[in-house]
A and B are shown apart, each in its own frame.
Chain A
Amino acid sequence: MTEQSTVPTTGANSEFWTGKRKQRLWRAVQTVLILIAAFIMLIPIIWIFLAAFKSHVEVYQLRLFFTPTFENFGTVFEEPYDLGAKLFNSTIVAFVTVVFAIPIATMAAYSFSRFRLKFETTILVVILATQFVPAVVIILPFFIMFRDLGLLDTRIGLIMVNLAIVMPFAIWMIKGFIDGIPMDTEEAAMVDGSSRLQVIRNIVLPMAAPGLVTASIFCFILAWNEFLFALFLTNREATTLPIGLALFRGEEGDLWNLLSAAGIIIMLPMFVLALAIRKYFVQGMTMGAVR
């Protein structure tokens, strides 16, 4: 390129900024804007990441360079914080929620997708509408009900609540994936000699697998992060990680270094799962079914 890189004069300006040049400049501006936006959104995460490796004293200093310590990650698992038990509770609650939610939601989603039901749209909207009610509004009745049933501070109780929270999302999400499976493929399987259940097992489930995985991960994240119900319905035995975070607000103020370390422990599985989702979204499972 022997092109002169002098600043164009005002007269040549309109000629200089044309076509490809303009496009390239605009791309550069876009990239910069995206990076700035991403950075702004990432600031809290970066701050927490740094704080988790700082000592209690260093936390309030906005220094980027310091001697990292892993002490915080040890402390949070010790008394009185005992994050290990909460990690166990969170894992069990989220895992069992998913194990129950996905098969039930799949059956519901298949029915909504493939059969003409009476009041189908209404039922679908009502299912979603349960999510429109703010949790705070219904938390007291829940508390009383759970107290009477002896479900307070139990993992089973939390699993039931979480099921109610994730099911609408799971049903809608999986329905979308099943809608995407061509009817021809299912009908071909029926003519080929399958019963409805065989069609679901041999054709629909494998083809909807990326959707089921995505929905599972999504439900797991919802249950994992659920805070409000866990706060009201548990106090010692069944507390989960998000509740555990609240423990770090001691008399001596917020223990940001410990809070951050616990935060990272909560976020870590989410990062891993988010990466997994991405992989599944990219997989076009229905490719090649038709045309």
Chain B
Amino acid sequence: MAEIRLNNLTKRWGDFVGVDDQSLHIKDEEFLVLLGPSGCGKTTTMRMIAGLEDPTAGEIWIGDRMVNDDLPKDRDVAMVFQNYGLYPHMTIFDNIAYPLKVRGTPKADIEPRVKKAAEQVELTEFLHRKPKALSGGQRQRVALARAIVRTPKVFLMDEPLSNLDAKLRVTMRAELKHLSRELQITTVYVTHDQIEAMTLADRVAVMKNGVIQQLGTPDDIYNDPANMFVAGFIGSPAMNLINGSVQSGMFVTTGGTKLVGIGAPDRETAILGVRADDMSVHDAGQGDIDVSIYAFENTGESTLLTVQWGKQRVIARGDRHLRKEQGETVGIKLDPDHLYLFDPDSGDRIRLGGK
């Protein structure tokens, strides 16, 4: 068990910058998720912690030891790979036992520990099989068991759920969460799936182009995004970003509709961010703006209305009993407490009225 410190970590391949001078302090027993689109440097960051990639510059500390020059085997970490990285020529038992065997654990200790790890991931009955005789979810469990069979200082998980089908992913996610609470070992988890990030993390680091955009609790990231990228990346459906300007305290869309009072100084261009959940659907004339429905979708637990908003389309979430037809006009009301304003050029958040 240990904390991880990354000090001014940089990874470059020629001119390409994978990770750009990032510092990060991961607390002991914390579950930290690195979240971002592909190519944002999240996996590279994790591989540098594991020792599978050498940093171009910067320091990596695990506990009170600088591990830059340590081989992966000497860093005392355990890793779960996206493609599982199982040993196909070994039985499940030998797969799970491998980290113990190769580190010279006494033979008598190996069996009970493998059995315990297998129990924790509910694999006991498959121990004699080979990986190819298991399903994807079971293979993922083997990879997990192989990681938890030792008590490493740090867990590293590289998109461990992304090869599973949607249903299994939800179950495995809960199992991971349960397991991580039980084990209380510092964990770094890489994913591009914001739901995984929201549900699993103590803190999330949202990355883009090798730079951490925001580091905070899932609540912070969702409710208080630092910039337009984070706002647009988190949430499903993504936050609506509406082009317009601020004129005498009102947000005015590009089409010229005065939309909503907003406590911000006037500016010629601005982007208003509003989540689908923070809009309410009313009859025509009853909301802040009347719009026509471009598409009406019923997802079962709610309804999604894609509406034509001038030249843009915006998604609002409606009650699950709401029924509307395509082409109908509805009034949309915005929740004034949950509006975000961004600078369209820099993408920076413009803080509203003291918030």
Contact = CB atoms under 8 A, between A and B. Distances in A.
A193 B147 CA distance: 11
A192 B82 CA distance: 16
Contacts of B86: 185, 188, 288-290
Interface stretch (B70-78, B200-208, B317-325, B336-344): B70-78
Contacts of B209: none
Nearest to A182: B83
B9 to A, nearest CB: 19
Contacts of A207: 87-89
A191 B70 CA distance: 11
A67 B143 CA distance: 66
Interface string B263-282: 00000000000000000000
Interface residues of A, number: 25
A285 interface: yes
Given A184-B84, A185-B86, A290-B84, A192 B98 contact: yes
Nearest to A205: B89
A286 interface: yes
Interface in A270-291: 285-291
Contact of A190 (B73, B87, B133, B139): B73
Interface string A194-236: 1100100011001101000000000000000000000000000
A286 B88 contact: yes
A96 interface: no
Contacts of A189: 85, 87, 98, 102
Interface centre among B75, B79, B87, B103 (most CB of A within 10 A): B87
B159 to A, nearest CB: 11
A71 interface: no
Contacts of B77: 191
B181 interface: no
Nearest to A288: B132
Contact of B102 (A184, A198, A206, A285): A198
A187 interface: yes
B52 interface: yes
Interface of B: 50-52, 71-73, 75, 77-79, 81-89, 98-99, 102-103, 130-134, 136, 139, 143, 146, 156, 163
